[in-house]
Structure 1
Amino acid sequence: MLKIECRQGDITRQPDIDAVVNAANAQLRPGGGVAGALHRAAGPELEAACRPLAPIRPGQAVITPAFALPNRYVIHCLGPVYGVDEPSDELLADAYRNAMALAEAQGLSSLAFPALSTGAFGYPMAEAARIALTTVTERGHQCAHLGLVRFVLFDAATAELHQRLLDKPMPSP
């Protein structure tokens, strides 16, 4: 049974998690937000490992070693740019599904997500959280290895929103 947690924190500091998810850009380069933080914490080897995997498309996920991060892997997901990449709800759900599929393929037991597409990509937080939690909950029933998915959110309001949505029954995305 998949356990889902929501907490405020720093995604670069999740030592009990097998893989962390990067809210990547198409070129898998360091940037702002989550991508910048993960690349800084992992060191220059992460950018070098990403180079041959780029570019990726919205909804796609790829995996690299985590290098100096306290995790085994980084799974890089490209979420949709809200109002540009369509259908944005399906592409966002695909990013979560594909990250979980990579974790399963590696036999990982734990995975940490940020709130994909909600920063520079402009996805409304409440809608993105609903899609994320619904998708992870539904996909979790098919996971043989993955036992924990943690949403690591930057601020208290975002963590509280995710927790409120997690605590109530959700319709399909």
Structure 2
Amino acid sequence: MRALIKFFVELCLLRRPPQDLPASEMLLGLVLVADLAVGVLVGITAGLSWLTSLLQGVAELLLMLVALYAALTQLKLRARFLQAATALLGSGAVLGLVAIPPLSLNPTGSQENDLAALGAFLLLGLVIWGLLVTGHILRHTFSITLGQGSAIAVAFQIVVVTLVTSLFSGL
């Protein structure tokens, strides 16, 4: 387990490619549950109910996995799905855990203070870093440049945030 955590940290530091992961359905399932649990914790820390956090997390994961599977299938690279999906979910869990302390500073709250501003600044940095990590994973998965992978990550994030917030805005 320790080696796996170390791998995902190194992946988030752009030191390891996703193809270094074993192509394992069991590992994908384990990382999927971990990412969903971390996503719920992040949502609760941000002030959402656990149910809203869970529903948003499931929707985001479904959108990501379906889009990844469809793109890999279209490009005849479906064999890369397990490793790429595991890498995306594992890095998402690591970055989600790192996001909890800045979120606890209430950067989206109504009161403006220095700690909230620091939290917002740290979260902005984490969002940018997350997009770079996703770009890194996509670079290796699709044999494209880091810039192209990051551009895809930005576009996908915009679509996901728009869809998920419109679906769950009433909850």
Q: TM-score band, normalised by the shorter chain?
A: under 0.3
Q: What TM-score results when the alignment is normalised by the length of structure 2? A: 0.26
Q: Which has the higher helix share?
A: 2
**Which has the greater radius of gyration?**
2
Q: Which has the higher strand share?
A: 1
Q: What TM-score results when the alignment is normalised by the length of structure 1? A: 0.26
